[in-house]
Structure 1
Amino acid sequence: MAGRELTKAMEQAIISLLSSVHTSEDAKRVQDAGVTEACFAGAMHYWEALQYIYGRIRKGKQISKSYLKRQHDVTLIAGDDPRLYAREVVFGTALAQVDDITADVQEELLDPSDQPAFYEAVRKARNLLRDIACATPNGQQVGGRSVTYTTPGSLVMPPPQKWLVKGFIPDKWATFLYGRGGVAKSGLAVMLAVCVAAGEPFLGVPTAKGKVLYIDWEADEEAFRTVINRVANTIGVDISQGLSSIRYRRLYGPLNEYLDDIIEECEDEGISLVIIDSFGFSMSGQDTTAQPDVTAQMTRLAKIPAATLIIDHIGKQGRGEDGPFGSVYKHAASRWMWWLQAVSGEDEKCPDGENKPGIFVRMANTKHNIAAKQKDIFLHLTWDDIFAPDKMHVKQVKREEVPESLAGIIKETGEVELSGNTNDFIRAVRSIYGQTGKAATKDDMVAILKVNVKTVTSIAQKLNKLGMIQLVDIPHGEGPGRPGQGYLEAGAIVDIDTTDAARKV
Structure 2
Amino acid sequence: MNVPTISPEDGFIAASQFVLSPPKPREWLVGDLIPAGTVTLLGGDGGTGKSLLALQLAVSVVTGEPWLGQSVRTGSALFISAEDDVEELHRRTATISRALGGATQGDMERLLVMSRAGMDALLAEMNQSKGALTPTSLFQSIEDQAKVTRPNVIVLDTFADIFPGNENDTSEVRQFIGLLRGLAIRCQCAVIMLAHPSLTGMNSGSGTSGSTGWNNSVRSRLYLERVIQDGYEANPDARVLRTMKSNYGRTGGEIALTWLDGVFVADAPDIGLDRVALSVRAERVFLRLLDEFTAQGRTVKSANATGYALKAFVSTGRADRLTKKQLHEAMERLFANGEIKEILGGDGPPSKQTKRIVRASGTGAQPCETYA
TM-score by length of 1: 0.46
Q: 1:233 to 1:339 in 2, by over 3 A?
A: same
Q: Which residue number in structure 1 is paired with residue 240 of structure 2?
A: 362
State whether structure 2 residue 192 is matched by structure 1 residue 309.
Answer: yes
Gapped regions of structure 2 (runs ≥ 5):
125-135, 271-277, 279-320, 329-372
Residue by residue over 1:250-299, the C-alpha shift from the partner in whole angstroms, topping out at 9 and shown as x without a partner, is 23231121222222211121111000101121114x21111122111101
| 1:213 equivalent in alignment to 2:78 | yes
Q: In the aligned structure 2, how far is the partner of 1:243 from the partner of 1:278? A: 23
In the alignment, what sits opposite 1:145? 11
Q: Does 1:182 align with 2:66?
A: no
The one-letter code of the counterpart of 1:149 is A
The TM-score normalised by the length of structure 2 is: 0.62
Unaligned runs of 5+ in 1: 1-22, 37-143, 351-355, 384-390, 409-505
Q: Is the 8 A contact 1:344 1:360 kept in 2?
A: no
State the Cα distance separating 1:404 from its structure 2 match. Answer: 3.4
Match for residue 268 of structure 1? 148
- Paired with 2:253 and 2:75, the residues of 1 have a C-alpha distance of 26
Cα deviation, residue 215, structure 1: 1.1
Larger radius of gyration: 1
Matched, 1:227 2:227: no
2-structure distance, mates of 1:329, 1:397: 35
1:127-175 deviation per Cα after TM superposition (whole angstroms, max 9, x unaligned): xxxxxxxxxxxxxxxxx82332245725x54222211221222111211
- Residue aligned with 2:249, SS: coil
Q: How does 1:245-324 map to 2 (within 5 A)?
A: 245-251=110-116, 252-256=120-124, 257=136, 258-284=138-164, 286-304=165-183, 305=187, 306-319=189-202, 321-324=205-208
In terms of fraction of residues, the more helix-rich structure is 1
Q: Greater share of strand residues, 1 or 2?
A: 2
- RMSD of aligned alpha carbons: 3.0
Hey, what does 1:404 align to over in structure 2? 324
Aligned residue identity for 1:231: I
**Per-residue CA shift, 1:339-364, capped at 9, x if unaligned?**
1111489x9575xxxxx5x5111111
Residue identity in the other structure for 2:243: N
Q: Which amino acid aligns with 2:218?
A: S
Where 2:223 maps in the other structure, the secondary structure is strand
Equivalents in 2 of 1:397, 1:407: separation in Å? 18
1:366, 1:301 → 2: CA distance? Answer: 20
**How much does 1:398 deviate?**
5.1
- Could you list the structure 1 runs, at least 4 aligned residues long, displaced by more than 6 angstroms after superposition: 405-408
Q: Which moved more, 1:202-211 or 1:247-256?
A: 247-256
The correspondence of residues 103-502 of structure 1 with structure 2, limited to 5 A, is 145-151=11-17, 153-154=19-20, 156-239=21-104, 243-251=108-116, 252-256=120-124, 257=136, 258-284=138-164, 286-304=165-183, 305=187, 306-319=189-202, 321-343=205-227, 348=232, 350=234, 358-373=236-251, 375-383=253-261, 391-392=262-263, 394-397=265-268, 403-404=323-324
**Greater RCO (Cα-Cα under 8 Å, separation 6 or more):** 2
* Matched residue SS, 2:259: strand
SS in 2 for 1:318: helix
Alpha-carbon distance change, 189 to 407 in structure 1, aligned in 2, over 3 angstroms: farther
Query: What is the CA distance between 1:180 and its match in structure 2?
Result: 0.9
Return closer, same or farther for 1:178/1:407 CA change in 2, 3 Å cut-off: farther
Per-residue displacement from partner, 1:466-499 (whole Å, max 9, x unpaired)?
Answer: xxxxxxxxxxxxxxxxxxxxxxxxxxxxxxxxxx
Change (3 A) 1:239 1:220: farther
1:328-387 residue CA offsets vs partner (Å, 9 max, x unmatched): 011111111111111489x9575xxxxx5x51111111101111225211111133xxxx
